[in-house]
Structure 1
Amino acid sequence: MALDRTDLRLLALLQRDGRASVQALSEQVHLSARATLNRVRKLERQGLITGYRAVLDRAAIGPAVVFFAEIALKDQRQAASRRFEARMQATPEVVACYLLSGRYDYLVRVACADLAQYQRLTNGWLEDAELGIEKIVTSTELQTVKEFGGFPLAWKV
């Protein structure tokens, strides 16, 4: 699916503000509202836009401690990875999970109310033989310097 400059501009604008009105978008991409709406719907149908969400103020929703867990599995076969990934998907405290190359198999970002909750969670993972975790190395997030705000699209043009 080939994207032109207008498609890329729409994607960039929607990454920044998913609630932007069609009228506001159309003014920024210099198309009619109808043409803009058609393009956005096309991008949604093609799977380039997979959803819209609200970004919450972490301080306003209550204290949370965020941890990064580098996790090595005992077994790197596909079935073991699928079991681990399913557990990460089903765990609400896991806010992001990435399969990596290198010393560890996964980098997992975990948000908990406190250290005790994190310890209970990871101890449960380690005790679950089906997950097959060999090792967890934890770092505590001290400050978020830059949060994910969308993918860079300028290099696509």
Structure 2
Amino acid sequence: MQFDRVDQTLLELLQRDGRMSAQALSEVVNLSARATLNRVRRLEEDGLIEGYRAMLHRAALGEHVSVFAEIALKDQRQASVQRFEQAMVACPEVIACYLVSGRYDYLVRLACRDLAHYRDLTNTWIDDVGLGIDKVVTSTELQTVKEFAGFPLMVRDRA
């Protein structure tokens, strides 16, 4: 997919604030509101914009602990991998799960009430032989220095 500088600006603005009106966007990119809205709709239809969501204030949700777990599986058979991934998708405490290269197979980010909650959750996973977990190595988040706020965009002019 190709996009130009106007598309890039729209994507950058919408990553920062998905609720910006077409009028506000149009003022930045110097197009009419209708032309701007058409561009945004095309970016959505082309799959560059997958959706919109609200960023919640973590502290307002109550106390919790954020934990990163490096998880190694006992084997790499497709059935084992699928069972593990389905369990991660279904678990509300799992807020991100990445298949990675290296010593571990997955990096999982969790939000738990406290460390006891995390321990109980991971003990349940380890005890479930169907998940095939070999090892879990934990790092507890002490402070968020930078949270994900969108992907960097590089200008690709239209042909």
Query: TM-score, with normalisation over the residues of structure 1?
Result: 0.96
Aligned residues: 157
Q: CA deviation digits over 1:110-138, x for unaligned, max 9?
A: 00001111011101110111110000000
| Structure 1 residue ranges (4+ consecutive) displaced by more than 6 angstroms after TM superposition | none
When the two chains are superposed, the root-mean-square deviation of aligned CA atoms in Å is 1.1
Partner SS for 1:60: helix
Match of 1:152 in 2: 152
Partner SS for 1:80: helix
Partner SS for 1:109: strand
Q: In 1, distance between residues paired with 2:156 and 2:75?
A: 38
Q: In 2, distance between residues paired with 1:69 and 1:115?
A: 13
Matched, 1:100 2:107: no
Q: In 2, distance between residues paired with 1:56 and 1:16?
A: 14
The letter for the 2-side match of 1:74 is: K
Query: TM-score, with normalisation over the residues of structure 2?
Result: 0.95
Q: In 1, distance between residues paired with 2:107 and 2:127?
A: 19
Unaligned runs of 5+ in 2: none
Q: Could you tell which deviates more after superposition, 75-84 or 119-128?
A: 75-84
Offset of 1:156 from its aligned partner?
A: 5.0
Match of 2:4 in 1: 4
Match of 1:116 in 2: 116
Match of 1:44 in 2: 44
Q: In 2, distance between residues paired with 1:92 and 1:155?
A: 36
Offset of 1:2 from its aligned partner?
A: 1.1
Higher relative contact order (CA 8 A, sep 6+): 2
Q: In 2, distance between residues paired with 1:11 and 1:55?
A: 17
Q: CA deviation digits over 1:56-109, x for unaligned, max 9?
A: 111111001010000000111222221111111110000111110000000000
Unaligned runs of 5+ in 1: none
Matched, 1:79 2:94: no
Q: In 1, distance between residues paired with 2:35 and 2:72?
A: 49
Q: In 2, distance between residues paired with 1:40 and 1:103?
A: 41
Q: In 2, distance between residues paired with 1:4 and 1:14?
A: 15
Q: In 2, distance between residues paired with 1:156 and 1:138?
A: 40
Match of 1:57 in 2: 57
Partner SS for 1:130: helix
The letter for the 2-side match of 1:56 is: L
Identity rate, percent: 70
Q: In 1, distance between residues paired with 2:117 and 2:52?
A: 30
